[in-house]
Amino acid sequence: IVYATGFRHTDVLWPLKVTGRNGTDLHEMWGTRPYAYLGITVPEFPNFFIIYGPGTHLAHGGSLIFQSELQMRYVDQCLRRLAETNTLCVEPKPEAATDWHQRTQTQIKKMVWSHPAVKHSYFKNADGEIHTVSPWRLNEYWAAVREPDWSQFLIRERK
């Protein structure tokens, strides 16, 4: 488990080099638009879990501790499946991650941080987009991560 903070707010997981299936480089895949299903899991990166990932920064109030606990409980349920069943690996389906990202971006565009008058902000990437901040109320996010929806995952079993 790696948990770190830094001053490159829009460069999620910088400076870590993360390599997924078939040699996929996480930062190359993301480019300037990081995304993760529920802000926690990424397609092409089996058994890879992020705490405080893309779209989960609480800039509108709430408790980062509570948010992190929600994410850790979610990850714990995923790890339990790996440890206690015949499951070899889990990763979100690409369409699950894309759908979550699009829903998040739709909500972000309704928030003050996206207002055209806000020209420069540490929330915005070089293209003026916001991919780190969460638009969700804590109760909405809690409902989303309360337990994994396994239908949104690619699951490989051990042979």
Beta bridge partners of 37: 41
Q: What is the mean pLDDT of residues 3-14?
A: 66
What local confidence, expressed as pLDDT, does residue 132 receive?
87
Is pLDDT at 101 greater than 70 in this prediction? yes
Q: What is the mean pLDDT of residues 42-62?
A: 91
Query: Where would I find the H helices in the chain?
Result: 26-30, 64-84, 94-108, 138-145
Q: Specify whether the backbone of 38 is left (phi greater than 0), alpha (psi in -120 to 50) or beta.
A: left
Is pLDDT at 107 greater than 60 in this prediction? yes
103 compared with 115, residue with greater pLDDT: 103
CA distance 110 to 153: 29
Do residues 108 and 135 lie in contact, with contact meaning Cβ atoms separated by under 8 Å? Answer: yes
Name the phi and psi angles at 25, rounded to 5: -90, 125
What is the model's pTM?
0.90
CA distance 92 to 89: 10
Do residues 131 and 35 lie in contact, with contact meaning Cβ atoms separated by under 8 Å? Answer: yes
| Burial bucket for residue 58 (CB in 10 Å: 0-12, 13-18, 19+) | middle
Class of domain 21-157: alpha beta
What local confidence, expressed as pLDDT, does residue 5 receive?
57
- Write the pLDDT tens digit of every residue in 62-79: 888 999 999 999 999 999
- Write the pLDDT tens digit of every residue in 19-31: 999 999 999 999 9
Name the phi and psi angles at 146, rounded to 5: -55, -40
- Write the pLDDT tens digit of every residue in 75-99: 999 999 999 999 999 999 999 999 9
Out of 17-21, 62-66, 136-140, 154-158, least confident range: 62-66
